[in-house]
Amino acid sequence: MTDALLSARGLRKTFGGLVAVDDVSIEIAAGMTHSIIGPNGAGKTTLFNLLTGRYHPTRGVVVYKGRDITALPVYKRAHLGIGRSFQITNLFPNLTVLENARLAAQALGKDNFRIFRLATSFDSYIRRAYEVLEITGLREVAALPANTLPHGGKRKLELAMILACDPELLLLDEPTAGMASEQVPELIQIIDRIREQGAKTIVMVEHNMSVVMNISDRITVMHQGRVLAEGDPRQIAADRMVQAVYLGELYDLPKGESA
């Protein structure tokens, strides 16, 4: 594939003696929804941290739009259009829900050093913040401190913040982590809406297999820091090794689709 938006070659990350990510190569095609699955500790979050620049790889390169970004710090990658949400909720806890979203909307603008204007006088950021709160159903609680939201609300705010940044490439690390199962569909709907808006590339780590199978154009399976398999949902579901290592009996193909 030459039209990869983001690609990594030979990525390796060690923590002391532990190899968290081991020789991982991956290509994310533009416009696709690409899921990464694998058991806990497989190295998915670490891979995200390498792709977004939070960690620097022990070895290997990361290329975005044909440019080597391996040495680029996190904030510069954000300016190139890479945004992420976090598995472990990562908000500004004492600021209001609105302020969390507004900070995200303001982040890539050109007004961050206008110290003689009030932050609230920039309508476009506030409008954008309300927009994403509307999409994520958080408008009613906009004035509450973020840490007062229930867990599901915090997960939605995670999504709202990445939406407000409006990145080209979204890396979503277990967006439904810790949510009650009846709340999951609402969140998936939000992700669906992002996908429908088009022009977005999504890389998603997710454990809910029916979600993964339905939503993904492509799936990469990781295990013990390595890429175990890659393919479209049907190929992955049929892959014996994947079945043995990870899927087991957890997932059966929807009726009528089994090969």
Partner 1 sequence: MIQKQNSPIQRGWLRRNALPLLLFAFLVLFPFIVGAITDSSPYGVVRGDRMIMRGESVRWQSVLIEAYILIILAMSYNLLFGFTGVISFGHALFFGTSGYVLGLMLEYTAIDTTLALFVGAALGIVLCGVLALVIGFVTLRLKGVYFAIFTLAVAEMFYIFFSRWQLTRAEDGFAITELPAWLDPSQSRINFYYLSLAAVILTFVFIRRLVNSPSGAVFKAIRENEDRAQSMGYNTLNYKLLSIMFAGMLAGVAGLLQVILNKKVGPELLGVSYTVDPLLMTIIGGIGTFTGPVIGAGGLHFLDVFLRDAQINLGGVVIDIANIWALLLGVIFILAVIVFPFGIVGTWQRWQARRHRHPEKPLPDAAAGQD
Ligand X SMILES: Nc1ncnc2c1ncn2[C@@H]1O[C@H](COP(=O)(O)OP(=O)(O)O)[C@@H](O)[C@H]1O
Shortest Cβ distance from residue 33 to ligand X (Å)? 19
Binding partner selected for residue 165 from ligand X, partner 1, Mg ion, none, CB under the kind-specific 5 to 8 Å limit: partner 1
Residue 123 lies near partner 1 (rule: CB under 8 A)? no
Residue 43 lies near ligand X (rule: CB under 6 A)? yes
**Which of 44-52, 97-105, 209-217, 226-234 is the region at the interface with ligand X (rule: CB under 6 A)?**
44-52
> Where is 13: in which H helix or E strand?
strand 4-15
Residue 219 lies near ligand X (rule: CB under 6 A)? no
Binding partner selected for residue 258 from ligand X, Mg ion, partner 1, none, CB under the kind-specific 5 to 8 Å limit: none
Binding partner selected for residue 2 from partner 1, ligand X, Mg ion, none, CB under the kind-specific 5 to 8 Å limit: none
Shortest Cβ distance from residue 75 to partner 1 (Å)? 5
Closer by beta carbon to ligand X, 38 or else 81: 38
Q: In this structure, how many other beta carbons lie within 10 angstroms of the beta carbon of residue 40?
A: 7
Closer by beta carbon to partner 1, 122 or else 224: 122
Instruction: Give per-residue burial for 49-87: e unless 16+ CB within 10 Å, then b.
Output: bbbbbebebeebebbbeeeebbebeeeebbeebbbbbbb
Residue 44 lies near ligand X (rule: CB under 6 A)? yes
| DSSP line for 108-159 | TSS-TT-TTS-GGG-HHHHHHHHHHHHHTT-GGGTTSBGGGS-HHHHHHHHH
Question: Exactly one of 10, 73, 178, 185 binds partner 1 (CB under 8 A); which one?
Answer: 73
From the list 99, 100, 48, the residue with the least C-alpha distance to 74 is 48
- φ and ψ of 60, to 5 deg: 105, 170
CA angle 144, 92, 64 (to 5 degrees): 130
Cβ-Cβ contacts under 8 Å for 15 (sequence gap 6 or more): none
- Among all chains, which residue has been given the structure tokens 């080209």? 168
Closer by beta carbon to ligand X, 87 or else 243: 87
Q: Total residues contacting ligand X (rule CB under 6 A)?
A: 11
Shortest Cβ distance from residue 79 to partner 1 (Å)? 5
Q: Contact positions toward partner 1, by CB under 8 A?
A: 52, 54, 73-76, 78-79, 83-84, 86, 90-95, 99, 102-104, 106-108, 111-120, 122, 144-145, 147-148, 161, 165
